[in-house]
Structure 1
């Protein structure tokens, strides 16, 4: 039994119910590759514009000459103890995949799996309310869903959206000479590790909540820019993992200039003190062989590159002459720390990280 339930005066810690939280729950990339490598190809209708081929953020199905349907799902275990905030974070993270394809969300379905005999009904209701409030902010209804009794608390959404077929932005369409722009600072996994160890300050907690509940709405306007070639969001596999997916899909080399990557306050210090998730190590084991770290980088760089980002920022690959427009879209929608972090160039599909 959860220890907090043995003492009615102890505060309920949602994170104590789960073995991993947020996007750190993802199956490690190396294990996922093993699971999928021998799967036979399924039915691929001509209307399916984006499937599983490049590990993109969502599936896209062409409905007609003006509309394509975006469909995605995302769910995980608690990353914070506040049930309302957990609901908000999970919903924001799920809807992000629609924005990452360049689309506008239209509705969601809730996925709710809870240990009903251990969690008070009021706590479950707060989780659901958090998700509803985020969907309301995104301008969409929760139109249905599914609930089950579960050993660990799990919450998320099936999210659907619409996009013009010519505005679909895949993660595989970067071009040599492109510039890479990141919409949000890194370090969410480090903050969540500190929270679980009860070592996170109030300032750090506020950063965690603000970063993970900020909807990636710039994706809609970014998809309308001709110079934007590829879009993805940085989530459970960390910046390195998602940059590698972009590079592999385009059959090009991605280069990240580490000194330009925005970081949440104090995460370098916390990472150096061991505040890292188990998922960070599993991520690196899965793809580290394809990442070249140039000498001179801080010792924590590897951990921060592979740090799982729950509801992380958009990663944009765009033409150099579109950079100002891309940054303006981010700034206009409140993403003050969006920054140019690197480039895409000809070469073997890989990731190079330079100081």
Structure 2
């Protein structure tokens, strides 16, 4: 695939929006660089309380240094807080702390952007100067046009919206019927059948029937089968534990992972809340693999809303909340990325 070149600040913001899949709000976004090549992209909520700048900067640096090739970075502050003439920019103490912490790791900040509700400008310029440009300029940037041409879109927020469901009783009964059939099989046969069903879906170019969706949901209700099916998503011939924790040398088949997420959302719409927790947890797990921590957290919380006792959702959410990053995202050769860029 042809590599593209980011030339303007509007290109940078377009790249961020399409890479994340949404327009950030009250966020710090950092892009690591090695010479002139882009590495990792990190979005993290801005600190809410004064006095937390140094711990916050150390947390950000911990994430950024997972890209071991990074020598510099770009950052963008997205906030509705106005910048006042003659006053420090909002979150200036945070950027100062981050500059110092990164310097200890031999990483320099190459440039920064201040992104408000309507305009953006260099972070270190004086408020009210002619350097401010309208945010709408990102819509006409070359990078934005190329992303759209390749089928990408930027959502207004990262808030998860689930497809509508209905006829819960009938759907629940259909899933229970499949579960009863699975219980009457040996463990080995049940796993084998579940893997074949899932593989056929993953290898297909079309969505499965409603009955096959409910059969998949039924298999996901059994933890032993569920874990095996999750490990089958990336298309890797590796030990199951290594795949689940994203600790493989080989990169996942990311297009297959994306298709798995679409299939699971399709299946979710064809089941009831009673059986939804494993489906939503698996989608959350996929988002963790892809480095989308905030979306992973949302899906896991939605899973816990349907079943507060669902153990895998709770443990996975604790893992993400503690700052554990999927191993694939520690290596630029295995990390999820939308497009190659220079």
From the two aligned structures, give the one with the greater helix fraction: 2
Q: TM-score range by the shorter chain?
A: 0.3 to 0.5
| Greater length-normalized contact order (CA 8 Å, ≥ 6 residues apart) | 1
From the two aligned structures, give the one with the greater strand fraction: 1
TM-score, normalised to structure 1's length? 0.31
TM-score, normalised to structure 2's length? 0.32
